[in-house]
Amino acid sequence: MENQVETIKYTPEKAKQNALAKLDLIRKWQEFRRKAINKLQADYDFVKLHNSSNSYLFNVLGKISRGSLHRWKSMLDGTEDYTRLIPNYKYVSVNEYRTCLTDEEIKIFMGLLLHPNRICIGKATALTKYKLKEQGQSFIPADITFRRYAKWFKDNNYDKWVLARDGEKALSDKVEPYIKRDASLLDVGDILVADGHKLAFQVINPFTGKPCRATLVGFLDWKSTALVGYEIMLEENTQCIASALRNAIINLDMIPKIVYQDNGRAFRAKYFTDDKGFTELGFYGLYAKLGIETAFARPYNARSKVIERFFKEFQEGFEKLMPSYVGSSIINKPAYLKRNEKFHSNLHNDYIPTIEDTIKMIDMWLKFKNSQPCTNVPNMTIAEVLENRKKQNIDKSLLNDLMLATEVKTIQRNGVRFLNCDYFDERLYGLRGKVLVKYNLFDLTSVKVFTPKGEYLCTAERVTETHPMAKILGTVEDLEDYKQKIQKQQKLKRKTINSVKKLLTNDEIKLIEARSNQEEMENSNNFHKEFKPRSNGVQKINNGEKSLPIFKNNSEKYEYLIKHNPSDIWVAEFKETKEYKLLYE
């Protein structure tokens, strides 16, 4: 049985104000009347004085007549109870509405108006009137009557209006009260909020070379509201999220305590959660392995993710400034993409950035964004709040093994081919077949190569191109690069020959050695002839200030300069390279 709401009789404030003003006016009138000899004349004089004054009582009651004074006096009946002067009207409460519409008319009208297809008020009114005419009703209310009732219902039953017409998500976003969270209780790095965002501009797909809309997955620090790590890939998947988390940990130089993330399939993947399915296989969830607690937002609840506000600012302040902006939907696409917009089409800049260019431009915008005031910390910028964090000196090599995207590639002569570049290491020489290539789009100078079973093979460096005529037109660096590559080829060839010798007989070995010695002699003559010193066995440096001998490799050159010219600029530069650290450190 439904609970019946008790109707409480109430008096509007305006009616109370009028009644109190009437009581004050009656008392003044009686006092004025007592001093007069002619009572009738006194009544007319008092009314004239009141109607020509600019007093408070006149502003409330307006003009009065002699009859009004006597009627009010009679209503008081010798008392001073102002409530006797309140009109005995039937005042309607908030939950009621005085209208000439019958219950049947309201039922038909609201049945149309609260339809989930969101029929407009004018169309619902027209359909209601048509149905009433079909039923033979003679009196049809006016359009304004229906419209006033619809306005009252919407103002006083907004929750029912939104739920019926827009659904539960709209009810949650527009009507239900929200919880305000105090971010001042957090420290930088305590909570990272993660989510994916489909870019509203096109980038060049590094795998196909065609334009596409990529996905940005970001990790936002709740305290400072700074985007501390992100990744751009073609779709939102576990590898993209892992790479974004890796970048966030490296930039923060600390592991967050909690990651608060979306409820999407990519975030819910078993790759991240230490659930029963993965535990039975002998693995641990990625977050648990790093000591990170996970929390998931409720589905389709945008207000629970503070990163949504960042993405809105990102779209307004960055994406719309890109020449390749195409809009996030058909509704907000730019003019040059619409039909018959020749003027805008001719003015449009057809530049589409690559992933590398996009990362550089996003980093520039983030530098501007972090210079803005922080909403969670007054009188400080986002960058200043972010700087006040406790760094942990994270070992990047551990993150690299766990958080790189993977591609299946086939080993070729020059190693593995990836993104139109060759990546080679000596341990790939002589191998054929499939391998797993792990990479990060933020650093493509090298990739990590694994067997299909996941065993680590090597870290392959990107192969650089060589000057076509290094000896004559190139610099010293070009010549040295060419020499190193020639020597590497000869080294790998000797390695193969020595391996084959172990599998052959003595006669076959002698035959191979004879051929090999002859080829080595010819190659040696060609090599020394090609790199013959220009004068007195030395090579002149382009600046003409100094001359150096020809070196077989960088190590030999370093040993020579350390003895003869340790202050040479080349020595300092060489000490910063990986080759020096590998050989001497």
pLDDT tens, position by position, 450-460: 888 878 888 88
Query: Taking all residues of the chain, what is their mean pLDDT, rounded to a whole number?
Result: 80
- Look at strands 258-261 and 293-296 and give their pairing: parallel
Q: Would you mind telling me the total number of residues written for the chain in this entry? A: 585
**CATH number assigned to the domain comprising residue 334:** 3.30.420.10
Q: What is the pLDDT of residue 303?
A: 57
**CATH number assigned to the domain comprising residue 413:** 2.30.30
Same domain, 226 and 360: yes
Same domain, 380 and 501: no
Same domain, 208 and 271: yes
Does residue 395 lie in a domain region?
no
**pLDDT single digits (tens) 104-121:** 999 999 999 999 999 999
- Residues 471-508 as b/e (b if ≥16 CB within 10 A, e otherwise) read eeebeeebbbbbbeebeeeeeeeeeeeeeeeeeeeeee
Measured CA to CA, the distance from residue 247 to residue 402 in angstroms comes to 12
Same domain, 454 and 495: no
Last residue of a domain, one of 413, 431, 462: 462
Does residue 50 lie in a domain region?
yes
Same domain, 503 and 408: no
Same domain, 581 and 533: no
Does residue 157 lie in a domain region?
yes
Q: How many domains does the chain have?
A: 6
Q: What is the pLDDT of residue 583?
A: 66
Closest CA to 479 of 526, 545, 546, 532: 532
Same domain, 340 and 383: yes
The 227-233 sheet, strands edge to edge: 227-233, 215-221, 191-198, 258-261, 293-296
pLDDT at 517 over 90: no
Same domain, 219 and 352: yes
**Per-residue DSSP letter, 433:** S
Measured CA to CA, the distance from residue 115 to residue 519 in angstroms comes to 89
Does residue 288 lie in a domain region?
yes
Q: What is the pLDDT of residue 536?
A: 37
Measured CA to CA, the distance from residue 234 to residue 205 in angstroms comes to 7
Same domain, 197 and 278: yes
Provide the domain limits for residue 555.
Answer: 551-585
Last residue of a domain, one of 118, 139, 174: 174
Same domain, 279 and 325: yes
pLDDT at 270 over 80: no
Same domain, 367 and 231: yes
Does residue 93 lie in a domain region?
no
Over residues 423-427, mean pLDDT? 88
Judge residue 211's burial from the number of C-beta atoms within 10 Å of its C-beta, 0-12 exposed, 13-18 middle, 19 or more buried. middle
Does residue 546 lie in a domain region?
no
Same domain, 73 and 207: no
Does residue 8 lie in a domain region?
no
Helices 506-530 & 476-501 angle (0-180, nearest 10): 170
pLDDT at 180 over 90: no
Does residue 269 lie in a domain region?
yes
The answer to which of 10-14, 199-203, 210-214, 532-536 has the lowest mean pLDDT is 532-536
Percent of the chain with pLDDT over 70: 80
Closest CA to 215 of 243, 192, 193, 249: 243
